[in-house]
Amino acid sequence: MTLAVKAAGVHKRLGSTHALAGVSLDLGDGITGLLGPNGAGKTTLMRVLATVLAPDSGSVRLLGHDPADREARPVIRRRLGYMPQEPGFHQRFTAFEFVDYVAILKEMTARRERHDEVRRVLDLVGLGDVAQQRIKALSGGMRRRVALAQALLGDPRLVILDEPTAGLDPEQRLRFRELISRLAQDRSVLISTHQTEDVAALCHHVVVLRDGETVFAGAPRELAEVARDRVWLADERSAGAELSWLTGDGRHRHVGNAPPAHAELVEPTLEDGYLLLVGRGSLAVAA
């Protein structure tokens, strides 16, 4: 079976910044979470995979095609859904008009069927009732759902969502998780996010980027395992911990190699593993 994404040694410079420094990635069906701190190269990688940016070097194959090939690029794009990190909107358009406009650019020409498809995706993201409202009248969360709706047009085989849950309230995030988990049954979905709980709840596969390089690729539980035997709860703050914070129950959670005195070893989470990879102790762990 053809992998949805197969990237090897991808480099991309943006000005003087080496945004991607040899990223390799293989994605099949299911949901992949892309984690990383600000400036790690997540959005640049998403833009490369969305065929918006061309890599400086390295190879990328999307849905079995090379996006550098001008003939193949539209073939890829017809089967690609993309939600940018900062999706712009035509404020004077209604939600329906905007998604309809995008549908035309996705080559859906038969008017009646196109409108049916627009209604379908708007219903899917829960915006059927406000489809005829102007986008400028919608809340930030609703606008992100409009952006998500357009990414779902035409039943794409590869869906790339750059921080789709930013600005969504908890209920909307849960609805989003439900929707995406249904979507991913027969396609490949790549989600870039800062929300480790979304990754833990949704993703079959996690990739962590740091400084333009892949520092982890595996299952979510494997990411949690990175922090195995390195997470403690204690009553006192420890100066030796890589990361330490006061939890809601009044105890300090320590992540790192140096346990404080009388600390209690606890089960690591995906977030602990991620913090160890990209946090202050990342160099030691990565080595």
Partner 1 sequence: MSSVSPAVAIAAHRPARERPRREVAALARIEGRRLLLHPVFLLGLALSMLFFRDEGNGATWEAFVDGFAYLPLACGTLVAANLGALRSRRDRTDELYESMPRPRSSRVAGQLLGLLWTLPIAGALMAAARIDNSFVVDNLGVLHAPSPGQLVQGPLMIITFGAIGILLARIAPSPIVGAVAVVALIAARLPGLIPAGSIGAWLVPIATDVFQYAPSTPCDPGTSSGCHRVATSAIAWHLSYFFGLTLLAAAAAMIPRRRPLGFAAVAALAVALAAATRLAAG
Site residues (vs partner 1, CB under 8 A) = 47, 50-52, 71-72, 74-75, 77-80, 82, 84, 86-91, 97, 100-102, 104-111, 113-114, 116-117, 120, 124, 147, 150, 153-155, 182-183, 185-186
Measured in Å, how far apart are the chain's first and last C-alpha atoms?
34
Q: Helices (H), strands (E): how many in the chain? A: 10, 13
Which of residues 74 and 140 has its CB atom nearest to partner 1 in the complex?
Answer: 74
Which of residues 150 and 282 has its CB atom nearest to partner 1 in the complex?
Answer: 150
Is 175 in contact with 126 (CB distance < 8 Å)?
A: yes
* Beta carbon of residue 189, minimum distance to partner 1 (angstroms, whole number): 11
Which of residues 109 and 247 has its CB atom nearest to partner 1 in the complex?
Answer: 109
- How far is the CA of 14 from the CAs of 20, 21, 260, in angstroms? 9, 11, 43
* Beta carbon of residue 246, minimum distance to partner 1 (angstroms, whole number): 40
Which residues fall within 8 angstroms of residue 71, CB to CB, at 6 or more apart? none
Which of residues 34 and 108 has its CB atom nearest to partner 1 in the complex?
Answer: 108
80-83: strand order across its sheet: 80-83, 158-162, 188-192, 30-35, 205-210, 213-218
* Beta carbon of residue 114, minimum distance to partner 1 (angstroms, whole number): 7
* Beta carbon of residue 105, minimum distance to partner 1 (angstroms, whole number): 4
